[in-house]
Amino acid sequence: MLLYQAEFFMQLREVEKVLPSSVQSEIKQDLQKLWNNEALEIVNITNALDRGGRVPLPLAGHYEGVYVKVGSKKYFSSCLQRVMTPVYQKQCATGAKVKVPGECNFCKIPSNCITWCKTELFDLTKLEPAPPVPTMGSGILEDGGYFDPPVSPPSRDYFPDYIVTLIVPLIIAILLCLLLAYIMYGRREGV
């Protein structure tokens, strides 16, 4: 279980081109520099289209984008901790361009550069504990409680439903048969 996980959005990547292990190792090397940690593992790779992203134009230079989630047993680096600061969150909320400090600029391959405002950190040590498992009882109500059975539903008259469902279509069918019989036998040529 990797207790510290981070998810990065790489805008200049496509999921089909990220799946080969050689490309994943390049991405992992760049993220190791950012995290200051050699023991990173890729946890998940998700296409941006699966997260509500838009289909790119079929032109060169337009990519779908990929979310890459990595995890480690080591806590986040100082560069990553800046993502959690209120100033950083406020800059991203206003849509302003987030300035990356020089020591946090890590991508030697341009397609591995991340979108900082879409970076999320997950500290799994702070998760709430699971609720306790319910205990099985005997299944018998304790003495002293009064059980009031539910009132039976009111009786329903099904005659109007019968008329609408069966009688009305039957009358219409008989009228149509009489009309067809009149046209076929009563209005024949020469009669």
Contacts of 161 (CB under 8 A, 6+ apart): none
pLDDT at 93 over 60: yes
> Is 27 exposed, middle or buried (CB count within 10 Å of its CB: 0-12, 13-18, 19+)?
buried
End-to-end CA distance of the chain: 94
Strand residues in the chain grouped as ranges (E):
4-10, 41-47, 66-72, 120-123
Please, are residues 66 and 48 in contact by the beta-carbon 8 Å criterion? yes
Rounded CA-CA distance 143/122 in Å is 49
pLDDT of residue 103: 65
**Higher pLDDT, residue 63 or 143:** 63
Q: Tens digits of per-residue pLDDT, 152-186?
A: 888 889 999 988 999 999 999 999 999 999 888 88
Q: Tens digits of per-residue pLDDT, 42-84?
A: 888 888 888 777 776 666 777 888 999 999 888 888 888 887 8
- Report the relative pairing of strands 120-123 and 41-47 from DSSP bridges: unpaired
pLDDT of residue 170: 95
Count the alpha carbons within 13 Å of 123 in the hemisphere toward its beta carbon.
9
Please, are residues 68 and 8 in contact by the beta-carbon 8 Å criterion? yes
